[in-house]
């Protein structure tokens, strides 16, 4: 584009002197070519420099390629569709902080790898496996995406597509959310996409399954002798099945079952009080070396066979629920029970998922289950 000369012309009439500039249409706000008039030369000079600057800008715009011009037009259309009456220059000004943060961000796969490496020493084997599977699934969808570019809406859509049940979606959220909180602390992102996401509502089961005293007695009587200490710990101490397989007899001492970080599901230490009923079953099993496991060899096979013969198959968490229910009915001590179960003090898991209603009389029958020779 040929640059306008914008020459300042001195003009006079019968009573005064003034100055004018001829302005081409593309620089005139009116859109028409014409003259601008000024009282002093200084005013005219100031306007001339302003128009010359605009001339240089217009010259640069004409150097844009057709695809760039179409891109600019589409950008203006998108701003209008969003109800934003701002220029492209203003839109870029607002977007620059986000764009700069994206430039210094890391990918999703890099975050998950760094978080796992940093936190792995604090995790139990169970937590490590959960994170491994959840992060692998997330990487399938977002591995190479910049962390700062992934929104909570995208993660929510991925969760609902990847997992069918609300309980699984909630578990995956709990597993992955700490990694994004870690990213905020490391200043990789300014806020976590999980920060405005609510956990999916998990439908509460109407009934919590527990063993009746007769069922618990039948399970203990059906069990082979080498399996009875393991079943006694499930029924009368509420030990988690995964924890049970890691316990040795060295963990049973001083009136407690000591759950170390290596044993616990949550990698937190706790001591479970040994009830008299459990003490009787453990004593009846005879002496054991401290290094001997509580579960006998071929435990998985023997457990399935015993439950099948007792008519109690496909009830995996029932022993723990039974312990919680009958302990609470007998002792009415929620804090002690939460401690034994490994629940935090403020948790409501005990009342939502782990105990049913039982009378003290029924609980007394449960705790009266003793070895035949005792």
| Separation CA 226–CA 60 (nearest Å) | 88
> Considering only CA atoms, which of 176, 143, 146 is closest in space to residue 159?
176
Under the banding of pLDDT at 50, 70 and 90, the label for residue 319 is: very high
- Burial letters for 194-229: b for 16+ Cβ neighbours within 10 Å, e otherwise? beeeeebeeeeeeebebbebebbbbbbebbeeebbb
Q: Which pLDDT score is estimated for 103?
A: 45
Q: Is the pLDDT of residue 369 over 90?
A: yes
Per DSSP, the residues of 265-295 read TTS--EEEE--HHHHHHHHHT----TTSBSS
Higher pLDDT, 63 or 196: 196
Q: Where are the domains positioned within the chain?
A: 8-63, 108-185, 213-367
Average pLDDT over all residues of the chain: 83
> Considering only CA atoms, which of 340, 312, 239, 326 is closest in space to residue 282?
239
Q: Which two tokens stand for residue 322?
A: 């039974």
pTM (2 decimals)?
0.49
Question: What's the pLDDT tens digit per position in 237-248?
Answer: 999 898 899 999
Q: Which pLDDT score is estimated for 109?
A: 92
| Separation CA 124–CA 263 (nearest Å) | 8
Residue with tokens 């009934």: 207
Q: Which two tokens stand for residue 158?
A: 């991925």
- CATH node for 213-367: 1.10.443.10
Question: What's the pLDDT tens digit per position in 247-285?
Answer: 999 999 999 999 888 777 655 678 999 999 999 999 999
Contact criterion met (CB below 8 Å) for 35 and 21: yes
Element (H, E) at 17: strand 17-23
Question: What's the pLDDT tens digit per position in 149-169?
Answer: 888 889 999 998 888 777 788
Residue with tokens 């491994």: 132
Contact criterion met (CB below 8 Å) for 54 and 27: yes
| Separation CA 248–CA 159 (nearest Å) | 39
Q: Which pLDDT score is estimated for 98?
A: 61
Question: What's the pLDDT tens digit per position in 289-313?
Answer: 999 999 999 999 999 999 999 999 8
């Amino acid at each position: 584009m040929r640059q306008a000369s914008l020459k300042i012309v001195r003009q006079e009439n019968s009573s005064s002197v003034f100055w004018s500039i001829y302005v081409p249409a593309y620089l005139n706000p009116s859109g028409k070519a014409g003259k601008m008039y000024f009282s002093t030369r200084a005013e005219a000079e100031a306007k001339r420099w302003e128009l010359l600057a605009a001339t240089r800008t217009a010259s640069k715009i004409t150097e844009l390629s057709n695809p760039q011009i179409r891109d600019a037009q589409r950008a203006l259309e998108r701003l209008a569709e969003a109800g934003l009456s701002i220029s492209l220059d203003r839109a870029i000004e607002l977007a620059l902080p986000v764009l700069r943060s994206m430039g210094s961000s890391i990918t999703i796969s890099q975050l998950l790898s760094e978080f796992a490496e940093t936190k792995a020493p604090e995790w139990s084997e169970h937590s490590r496996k959960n994170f491994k599977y959840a992060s692998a699934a997330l990487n399938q969808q977002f591995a190479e995406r910049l962390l700062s570019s992934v929104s909570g809406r995208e993660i929510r859509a991925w969760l609902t597509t990847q997992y069918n049940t609300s309980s699984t979606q909630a578990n995956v959220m709990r597993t992955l959310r700490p990694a994004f909180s870690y990213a905020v602390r490391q200043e990789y992102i300014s806020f976590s996409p999980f920060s405005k996401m609510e956990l999916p509502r998990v439908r509460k089961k109407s009934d919590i399954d527990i063993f009746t005293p007769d069922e618990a007695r039948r399970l203990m009587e059906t069990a082979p002798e080498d399996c009875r200490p393991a079943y006694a710990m499930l029924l009368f101490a509420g030990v988690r099945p995964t924890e049970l397989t890691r316990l040795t007899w060295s963990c049973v001492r001083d009136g407690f079952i000591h759950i170390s970080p290596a044993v616990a599901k949550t990698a937190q230490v706790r001591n479970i009080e040994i009830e008299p009923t459990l003490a009787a079953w453990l004593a009846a099993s005879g002496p054991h070396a401290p290094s001997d496991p509580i579960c006998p060899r071929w435990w998985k096979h023997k457990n399935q066979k015993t439950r099948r013969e007792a008519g109690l198959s496909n009830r995996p968490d029932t022993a723990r629920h039974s312990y919680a229910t009958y302990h609470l009915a007998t002792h009415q001590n929620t804090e002690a029970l939460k401690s034994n179960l490994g629940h935090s003090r403020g948790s409501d898991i005990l009342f939502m998922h782990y105990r049913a209603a039982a009378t003290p009389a029924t609980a007394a029958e449960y705790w009266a289950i003793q070895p035949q020779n005792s």
